[in-house]
Amino acid sequence: MCYFKLVFRGLCKVYFLCFSYYFWVFMFLISSRELSRLLIRFRKLYSGCSVSEELRGWNWSNDLLSPPVDNLFLGVSEVANRYCPNYRDIYLRRVANIPAPITVKTVRGWVYHALCSEFPSLVRGKLYSHGLMRGYDLFKILSGERDGFIDSIFKRYGVEKYVFGLDYDSLRSDSCILFDFMVLNVSARLDEIISELSYPKVENVVGRLMPEFEEKIVDGRFLGLSRELRVDVFMDNRLVVDVKTGDVRDFHKYTLAGYALAIEADLEIPVDYGVILYLAVKDGFVKIRSDLYFIDDTLRREFIEIRDKAFDIIQVGEDPGYPSSCPDYCIYYDYCRVRRIGGRG
């Protein structure tokens, strides 16, 4: 592992806390100029590091990267999210054909991702239809859209089918808090941008307020991954972002390696950096944490090893059994617990 990476791992959490306001807001508030400046600093810290050519995704045909099984394609999160150390989740989903249960955490992830991805379009639409305005006026307009905006997302995902009672009320309340957070930030940023421009025009202001950081669909089949991988944010400056709405887990970093390899294989664009953006609403406040990684040889090799193990579980087709200790945050925890206690498979 590169020495600079070891040093940077210790620095990045402090550094990103300082810049969490900006990185929350990859999707809405950070300007491309500000982001470029931050990346220049990161590249200087990693100036002594490089990625081996054999571990670039465009070399998918070599023995190291080539998938061990033909015509089998897995999602990046399915591979990387090692909630079960025994890969029993892979067996249950892919061999036993038992779908992953839909939990409150699952639905929360759907809702938060939709809020984040659709909010920029809402803001653009209001500015283009109403023209330039003060941040306070934008705040009032967007606040009036909150309930309808959230209702449409809840309806589209059928939230009422999966979440009930106090859990439903809590998710609804937290969604409103997240929406208000975004409205306050974008309204303040609008005033700031207009104050910096001598002759502000709607097009220029919107371009700086809402950079086009959009979800990217990538074909991962060269690597044995899904044909329509959805990368939360990908930017041309070799940076990929994955948004998480659950607790911090060490294995989340492997999703960055999987997406980087897939982008390189499909688009032949080198991807060196990744950010895991953790988004939560706790005790009435929005909480943000951003962890940056240099997607080095070690991270890439470890992802490929996990992928190959998952393929092996499916190819062999035998239940790997329960791990010595089942983590309660595993998506199949309740399913396995009931059967383990009852003595069934």
Residue 18 pLDDT:
31
How many domains does the structure of the chain reveal?
Answer: 1
pLDDT at 224: 96
Inside any domain, residue 117:
yes
Angle value at C-alpha 211, between 208 and 215, nearest 5 degrees: 175
The backbone torsions φ and ψ at residue 84, rounded to the nearest 5 degrees and listed phi first, read -105, 115
Please report, for residues 125, 213, 276, the alpha-carbon distance to residue 204 in angstroms, rounded to integers and kept in the order given.
Answer: 14, 16, 29
Domain that holds residue 149: 104-209
Provide the whole-model pTM. 0.83
From the number of C-beta atoms within 10 Å of its C-beta (0-12, 13-18, 19+), residue 132 rates as middle
Q: What angle do CA 18, 118, 166 make, to 5 degrees?
A: 85
DSSP state of 245: -
3-state SS class at 47: coil
- Asked if residue 265 is part of any domain, the answer here is no
pLDDT of 139 reads 98
Question: 214 vs 79, 253, 288, 291, CA distance in Å?
Answer: 23, 20, 19, 20
d(CA 2, CA 132): 48
The 10 Å Cβ neighbour count of residue 214 is: 15
Distances (CA, A) of 306 to 104, 232, 243: 27, 22, 21
Residue 28 included in any domain: no
242 in a domain, yes or no? no
- Does residue 156 lie in a domain region? yes
Provide the pLDDT for residue 213. Answer: 58
Q: What is the C-alpha separation between 196 and 129, in angstroms, rounded?
A: 23
Do residues 290 and 275 lie in contact, with contact meaning Cβ atoms separated by under 8 Å?
yes
What b/e sequence results for 219-250 when a residue is b if at least 16 CB atoms lie within 10 Å of its CB, and e otherwise? Answer: bbbbbbbbeebebbbbbeebbbbbbbbeeebe
Q: pLDDT (tens digit, 0 to 9) for every residue of the chain, 345 residues total?
A: 454 444 334 333 333 333 333 333 444 444 455 556 667 777 777 777 889 999 999 999 999 999 999 999 999 999 999 989 899 999 999 999 999 899 999 999 999 999 988 998 999 999 999 999 999 999 999 999 999 999 999 999 999 999 999 999 999 999 999 999 999 999 999 999 999 999 999 999 998 887 665 567 899 999 999 999 988 766 655 788 888 988 899 999 999 999 999 999 999 999 998 888 889 999 999 988 888 889 999 999 999 999 999 999 999 999 999 988 888 888 899 888 887 765 555
Distance CA 266, CA 54 (A): 16
Beta strand ranges found along the chain (DSSP E): 216-218, 229-231, 233-235, 239-244, 273-282, 285-294
Residue 193 falls inside a structural domain: yes
Quote the DSSP letter at residue 92.
I
20 located within any domain = no
- Predicted pLDDT of residue 273: 87
